[in-house]
Amino acid sequence: MENIARERYERWLNDPGISAEDKEKLKNESDEELQDAFYKELEFGTGGMRGIIGLGDNRMNIYTVGRASQAFANYINKSVHGDKSVVISYDTRHMSKEFAQETAEIFAANGIKAYLFEEFRPTPILSFAVRYFHATAGVMITASHNLPKYNGYKAYWSNGAQVIPPHDEGIINEYKAIKSFGEIKRMPLDEAREKGLVTMILKEVDEAYFRKALSLSFNSVDPELKIVYTPLHGTGGKIVPVLLEKDGFHPYVQKEQGIPSGDFPTVEYPNPEDPKAFKLSLEDAKKMDADIIVASDPDADRMGVMVKHNGEFVRIDGNQMGILLLHFIAKKYSENGMPSNPVAIESIVSSKMFAKVAKSFGVDVVEVLTGFKWICNAADDLRSAGKHVIFAYEESYGYNIGDFVYDKDSATAIMLTCEMASEYKKKGMSLVDALEELYKEYGYYFETQIAPVFEGEEGMGKIRAIVDSLRKNPPQKLINYELTKVTDYINGVDNVPPSNVLKFEFGKNLMFYCRPSGTEPKVKFYIMVMEFDEKENALSTLNQAKEEISHIVEELSR
């Protein structure tokens, strides 16, 4: 073990807040395991705090979750006056319920009322509940679409969006100020409930959410549309089928994946971005001759879609679905009355076709950093300035419609996607046909990614080295395109705050972004081709660029 890891390890062994049983477990771990568990502390990134379940500073456990909750409570008590409350939800992962109850006990012990969901509920329901109860803050226990060994902690502020500066910085400072786990205050859950410091919640919030979501329906419902839905063993099964039925659809829920499980036993990776996650639902869809397959990830904030086209099922990627939904919503509003000062929001690494479509309807576009914490806080600011945010999305299968959820919301997005599919079906078209029509009107825009994984302490070093090398020595040519512009977001650009992101432009037709992930041990490359007249030429250019960038990354990672 290296010195820093050993110091942290010894601190745990001497901390009175760590149980004797857990100290004994640590003593039986290998040096290799202890190095990875203690070489750094978990940090709040793009999606909060996320890590492997286990003992150690670099792990998700009752101590690190307790420390985060105590820090959050300290920050709230120092920065907010009057009555204070927090809403807490959790997903189907291992330890999620235990971490949620631990969080409620800590807030209660600090005099902050906790609204705790009786059963697991999706991230968008948590965001909605923060606003519904006019709470000070919220906590969602989830690791989203990560592997089963992970869990996480998302912190929300009173507007229902994930915390951003100054709140995230304030919580982090309080986290660092806690030197012993013995400083964490706890009140047993039963005692907290008796004292009115913990209130259990469930159906009331669900019904209020359904009412809000249904208010966004365009009533473009074909009850004969054959829908297969999979929650991928997650929380969406509690919400999505009910909402679709209330809207007039009759979805079929994939049987095996409808069973909640933190093991995610039927998928290698519980992420609707991964085509392999559709294997079972695709088998069912073929048997049923379904029109559309919709999926949500374990905390039900992301949506994935496959549609039947010419007898085969075709995947619609995150950017394509963002463009389709924007066009559908903007067209409906233009027919029925566009709100004043309409705005759409996308992340900087999302498709550039989005802005072109939006502007054709007179809708302004705002670009923000990757992560829905930035998207929804920007939406809050825009609404305060008298703007109407009609739609927001990011390429990683995240969509938001309306002003009642301030995070990604798969259920409302699935409802409107099924309405959109219904409308095109009446015209004898699939969503693939609809997308092709848009390409012919606006030009061919295609996007792809590479996201190599570099785990552990050594991996972090490789990620830093790759980004630093590209920052200092950007590629001067990609395929046959000359580098024309480099944008470094490290000190902020225009209204976009500082972030470790690089953008490389090669004329008007080709660009790529480089961004270390905030939640996973990956460095992500977003590759884009734009404004091509011919589909084949656009796809060929995209594939060549992907191959060349992959080679560059491979060389830099050695």
What per-residue confidence (pLDDT) applies to 372?
93
Examine the pLDDT at 520 and tell me if it is beyond 90.
no
**For position 257, what pLDDT does the model report?**
98
Averaged over 495-512, what is the pLDDT? 94
- Look at residue 456 in the predicted model and tell me its pLDDT: 83
Tokens 């492997």 found at: 52
Mean pLDDT of the chain: 95
How confident is the model over 463-491, as pLDDT tens digits?
999 999 999 999 999 999 999 999 999 99
Rounded to whole angstroms, the Cα distance separating 65 from 86 reads 15
Cα angle 254, 257, 262 (rounded to 5 degrees) comes to: 165
Q: What domains sit in the chain, N to C, each tagged with a CATH number? A: 1-39 (no CATH), 43-201 (3.40.120.10), 208-318 (3.40.120.10), 444-556 (3.30.310.50)
Residue with tokens 């009609």: 390
Q: What is the pLDDT of residue 231?
A: 98
pLDDT at 43: 79
Q: Are 454 and 521 in contact (CB under 8 A)?
A: yes
The structure tokens listed for 162 are 């994930």
CA distance 325 to 422: 13
Average pLDDT rounded to a whole number, residues 21-41: 94
- Which residues belong to the active site? 144
CA distances from 205 to 112, 115, 126, 133 (A): 20, 11, 9, 9
What is the pLDDT at residue 232? 98
Mean pLDDT of 325-339: 96
pLDDT class of 375 with cuts at 50, 70, 90: very high
How many whole angstroms separate alpha carbon 531 and alpha carbon 505? Answer: 14
Rounded to whole angstroms, the Cα distance separating 552 from 558 reads 10
pLDDT at 442 over 90: yes
Largest Cα separation within the chain, whole Å, is 70
pLDDT, position 557: 87
Neighbour tally for 252: CB within 10 Å: 18
Given this model, what pLDDT does residue 20 score?
96
- Reported as a pLDDT band with limits 50, 70 and 90, residue 383 is very high
Indicate whether 369 pLDDT > 70: yes
Instruction: Give the relative orientation of helices 31-38 and 3-14 as an angle to the nearest 10 degrees.
Output: 90
